[in-house]
Amino acid sequence: MRIDIITCQPGLIEGFFSQSIVKNAQTNGHAAIYIHDLRKYGQGNYKQIDDYQYGGGAGMVLMVEPLANCIRDLQKETVYDEIIYMTPDGVTLNQKTVNSLSLRKNIMIICGHYKGIDERIREMFVTMEISIGDYVLSGGELAAAVFTDALVRLIPGVLNDETSALTDSFQDNLLAPPVYSRPASFEGHEVPPVLLSGNEKNINDWRLEKSIERTRIRRPDLLDF
């Protein structure tokens, strides 16, 4: 999968993409992630990328021309399956959406800043608008990092044990069951004996039961389908 991210604050996410699973995914050739600095497309001596909004009101808007030029430059090299704008007024991201988008080959992500981006970019280029929750961040960068992480870990081969993404919370509309590691006893808190039994069927039954119990208590809405 190829992911191109357009941002006016590359420093906010560069570190994120050079660490851990997302870094390994790139090193192993499963994902190619490119960060594009919108400032390079800025206008005039000051490389201007934002301006006041027509009609007045507080807050700057990312201008249409630098963004359109950047998008078009990227489109010269790559045909995108999806051009996604990260925004609090987009559709709220969930595992189902991540699963289906993980099958795409080329994705472009646009990060907004300040008051947002000129509406014409949304009309002319954007194919999908995604929010990571009902709260407002200072920009789309952290949202893009969250979304990219969720996507990349689903690419086959990225996680060491491929099945581990399948047993994540939200796959099958269930939260994940509790997990334990050594020691079996810690300050009077014991690991459930079934997990030490070696009986795979009993272990799977216990995990499913705990998943359902946890989902019923914490997220009953997930069971209403």
Q: Does 136 bind ligand ADE (CB under 6 A)?
A: yes
Q: Quick one: which segment of 24-32, 132-140, 158-166, 196-204 binds ligand ADE (CB under 6 A)?
A: 132-140
Binding mask 15-54 toward ligand ADE (x if CB under 6 A, else -) reads: ----------------------------------------
Which residue from 7, 26, 87, 102 is in contact with ligand ADE, where contact means CB under 6 A? Answer: 87
Taking the C-alpha atoms of residue 135 and residue 132, their distance in angstroms, rounded to an integer, is 8
Q: Measured between alpha carbons, how far is 213 from 193 in angstroms, rounded to an integer? A: 18
Please give the residue whose beta carbon sits closest to ligand ADE in the complex.
143
- Of 59, 58, 13, 64, nearest to 41 by C-alpha is 64
Q: How many CB atoms lie within 10 A of CB 189?
A: 7
Pick the piece of the chain touching ligand ADE (CB under 6 A) from 42-50, 133-141, 179-187, 198-206.
133-141
Other beta carbons within 10 Å of 13: 21
143 lies in the site for ligand ADE, by CB under 6 A: yes
130 and 143 Cβ atoms separated by less than 8 Å: yes
Question: Interface with ligand ADE by CB under 6 A: which residues?
Answer: 86-88, 112, 131-133, 135-137, 140, 143
